[in-house]
Chain A
Amino acid sequence: MNEGRTTPPRRVLRNLSAKIASIPMILTATVVFAGGTVWTVVHSFTNSRLLPRLNFIGLDQYERLWSTPRWLTSIENLLVYGGLSLVLQLVIGFVLAALLDQKIRFEDAFRTIFLYPFALSFVVTGLVWQWLLNPDFGVQHVVRGLGWESFTFNPLYDQSIVIYGILIAALWQGTGLVMCLMLAGLRGIDEDIWKAARVDGIPMWKTYLFIVIPMMRPVFVTTLVIIASGIVRVYDLVVAQTSGGPGQASEVPAKYVYDYMFAAQNLGQGFAASTMMLLSVAIIVVPWAYLEFGRRRS
């Protein structure tokens, strides 16, 4: 026992309690996340139906997936919804934050109001907006009641614009959080920078655009990750608002995965679809991570 004390502690034993405490998380990450991912990818090459089976059939599930009109619609919807919601949430969130940053009165009250929708789940958000956008009770009904008889605002029942109806609800729900993150970032900017810019006579919008925003890079990255992960997994909002309808006009990939894994009792097809979702995320994340973290090392 005495010998142990005299020799310097070995590296493995350093911070032993911290290492023990992180074992559950390491196990979760490797077994549940990595293990589950590998298991899913492997089974996507099988013809598993209701129960998983290891009966390999090559790329058949993927061939079927990419020849299914519903999957193609889902991908298209995800691109439209994802692109627009990413850009709009960032722009609206930043503008709101910049406005709140002008040392206005009742800032706390406004912040609370803007952040409130985020406290609601997607399901509740979806139901609320389903009613608001319903032509028989919602916005259209109210405006027509005010006398504008020909007013038509009916996105959830129109195949060509239904995805924008979902986008509205998503923006309403998510922008508040983006605003708060941005506001925190703005508050982190040193007052002296503003003073210096004012002394140099740089207009406010230019200061924001060319000085403040580049300085807020870490905040933007965090926000981007949060928004993007929300986009890829969008499911409950669509189910609550339209259940993928009218027809299949508002289908999304996550819903395809769920429907084929469980309702259609075809695990293989669902796994193939979820592997494609993983792949598309990887295509975006891997080059970005390489640029972001790889550069620093060299």
Chain B
Amino acid sequence: MRDRFSIAALSAGVALGLAAPAMATDLEVTHWWTSGGEAAAVAEFAKAFDATGNKWVDGAIAGGGNTARPVMVSRITGGSPMGAFQFNTGRQAEELIEAGLLRDLTDVATKEKWAEVIRPKSLLDGCTVDGKVYCVVVNIHSWQWLWLSNKAFADAGVPVPKNWDEFVAAAPALEAKGIIPLAVGGQPWQTTGAFNVLIPAIAGKDIFLKVYQDKDASVAAGPEIAKVFKAADDARRMSKGSNVQDWNQATNLVITGKAGGQIMGDWAQGEFQVAGQVAGKDYTCLPGLGVNELISTGGDSFYFPKLEDAEKSAAQEVLASTMLSPATQVAFNLKKGSVPVRGDVDLAAANDCMKKGLEILAAGNIIPDTNQLMTEDSNNQLNDLFVQFFSTPSMTPEDAQKRYAEIIANAD
């Protein structure tokens, strides 16, 4: 039996090898997609790449971006680069590009007309340095979502809120039933993320851009952001008791109805999907916290280090175009819970929440992601601030705002 299988596999491989001009080459791809939904999504990439006759060697690094990025960077600067690696769309790879360690993909990009198919256009601009394209944007992730557990609100005997204010008002009823109103994990980026979601929802898009794009410290110290800190103070009170670390553990509290809701990016949707929950029935999603319906266009990109090996370099090009092919985009993004970067694909299979996201995207209500505007250094300082704010009830919103304005003033 086993022989027959391997012969079949061999002949299939030969057939594919004939069909695709590329040689079968192993290409190691590193990423930090390890939660259930993420792993299912990345398997779609691997499947599509293997089908081209090459071999996807999975180099998953557990522990999230902050753990994985240093490992990847030290491998690239240390002279043993992988075939491709994932970073968040934005400024994280800036210096690697400047140092000439990453591969220029302009040829593939012009051949496959990325400039025409990728939307919104700002995504490709983020990959472009001095007119050359350095990365493949594979999805659009937005942070601005409030995920609510319908079961938790049914248990507490209150209707599922339609916006942030109703949610805050419903918190005492949840607490009375022993339900944590807002699940927040202990990973520092989660609290910063939640705060950055509150800004456009409470103070509006212009304030968000003034703070993060123009780095205007007077706005950051001003009355509009003070309102946001008041809301963050509410969020802090509501998140008391969520003793979990990872974001997906926090999402799991919402899935099981132990927590009322969570402010988390649309990647949380993958977890609801893996748990077999249905949007609208088991859980509710409110883009822009139900106040200001807009989404950010962050996400993930793949970068390709310069390699000596010609075969591997050829395989890199195949991988880049595979990742952007319409079929892979749909399969990957449905599993990942994100939105495809191509406007020309069919998303009939998308669920309610994803459709909401697509509508907002089509209407152009978008903001850039903080990763695209701020350096990792500034983001880390914000992480330090917000993790302290959220875990220290004695820290006043005024004190926190003062430090916030300082960080913005020093950002570049």
Q: Using a CB–CB distance below 8 Å, which chain A residues touch chain B?
A: 49-51, 64, 68-70, 157, 159, 243, 245-249, 259-266, 269
- Given the interface pairs A50-B95, A51-B77, A269-B377, the reply to whether A262 lies near B69 with Cβ below 8 Å is yes
**Pair B69/A69 contact, Cβ less than 8 Å:** no
Q: How far is the CA of A249 from the CA of B66 in the complex (A)?
A: 20
**Pair A246/B380 contact, Cβ less than 8 Å:** no
**Pair A70/B95 contact, Cβ less than 8 Å:** no
Residue of A nearest to B392 (CB): A247
- Given the interface pairs A50-B73, A50-B96, the reply to whether A265 lies near B388 with Cβ below 8 Å is no
Residue of B nearest to A245 (CB): B186
Q: Which residues of A contact B390 (CB under 8 A)?
A: 247
Interface check B92, CB cutoff 8 A: yes
Chain B interface size band reads 20 to 34
Q: How far is the CA of A69 from the CA of B245 in the complex (A)?
A: 22
CB distance from A120 to the nearest CB of B (A): 21
Interface check B375, CB cutoff 8 A: yes
**Pair B392/A159 contact, Cβ less than 8 Å:** yes
Q: Which residues of A contact B50 (CB under 8 A)?
A: none
- Given the interface pairs A245-B391, A247-B390, A247-B392, the reply to whether A263 lies near B376 with Cβ below 8 Å is yes
Q: How far is the CA of A223 from the CA of B391 in the complex (A)?
A: 38
Q: How far is the CA of A248 from the CA of B383 in the complex (A)?
A: 11
| Residue from the list A69, A243, A262, A269 in contact with B186, Cβ < 8 A | A243
| Residue from the list B70, B381, B387 in contact with A262, Cβ < 8 A | B70
Residue of A nearest to B77 (CB): A51
Within 8 A of A (CB), among B364-412: 375-377, 379-381, 384, 387-388, 390-392, 403, 410
Interface check B122, CB cutoff 8 A: no
Within 8 A of A (CB), among B37-87: 66-67, 69-70, 73-74, 77
**Pair B243/A243 contact, Cβ less than 8 Å:** no
Interface check B169, CB cutoff 8 A: no
CB distance from A215 to the nearest CB of B (A): 49
28 contacting pairs across A/B (C-beta < 8 A)? A49-B95, A51-B95, A51-B99, A64-B410, A68-B384, A69-B388, A157-B243, A159-B391, A159-B392, A243-B186, A243-B245, A247-B391, A247-B392, A248-B388, A259-B66, A262-B70, A262-B73, A263-B67, A263-B69, A263-B70, A263-B380, A264-B377, A264-B379, A264-B380, A265-B95, A265-B376, A266-B377, A269-B377
**Pair B66/A248 contact, Cβ less than 8 Å:** no
Within 8 A of A (CB), among B212-246: 243, 245
**Which of A68, A69, A248, A264 is packed against the most chain B CB atoms within 10 Å?**
A264
Q: Using a CB–CB distance below 8 Å, which chain B residues touch chain A?
A: 66-67, 69-70, 73-74, 77, 92, 94-96, 99, 186, 243, 245, 375-377, 379-381, 384, 387-388, 390-392, 403, 410
If A50-B95, A245-B186, A247-B388 are given as contacts, then 4 extra A-B residue pairs at C-beta distance below 8 Å, sorted by A number, are: A49-B377, A51-B95, A249-B391, A263-B380
Residue of A nearest to B186 (CB): A245
Q: How far is the CA of A69 from the CA of B379 in the complex (A)?
A: 16
Q: How far is the CA of A243 from the CA of B99 in the complex (A)?
A: 32
**Which of A69, A245, A247, A259 is packed against the most chain B CB atoms within 10 Å?**
A247
Q: How far is the CA of A20 from the CA of B342 in the complex (A)?
A: 65
Q: Which residues of A contact B381 (CB under 8 A)?
A: 264
Q: How far is the CA of A50 from the CA of B74 in the complex (A)?
A: 10
Q: Which residues of A contact B70 (CB under 8 A)?
A: 261-263
Q: How far is the CA of A157 from the CA of B379 in the complex (A)?
A: 25
**Pair A265/B377 contact, Cβ less than 8 Å:** yes
**Pair B387/A248 contact, Cβ less than 8 Å:** yes
Q: Which residues of A contact B377 (CB under 8 A)?
A: 49, 260, 264-266, 269
Q: Which residues of A contact B410 (CB under 8 A)?
A: 64
- Given the interface pairs A159-B391, A243-B245, A247-B392, the reply to whether A260 lies near B380 with Cβ below 8 Å is yes
Q: Which residues of A contact B67 (CB under 8 A)?
A: 263
CB distance from B108 to the nearest CB of A (A): 25
Q: How far is the CA of A243 from the CA of B63 in the complex (A)?
A: 12
Q: How far is the CA of A279 from the CA of B99 in the complex (A)?
A: 32
Residue of A nearest to B191 (CB): A247
Residue of B nearest to A135 (CB): B243
Residue of B nearest to A242 (CB): B186
CB distance from A165 to the nearest CB of B (A): 14
CB distance from B395 to the nearest CB of A (A): 9
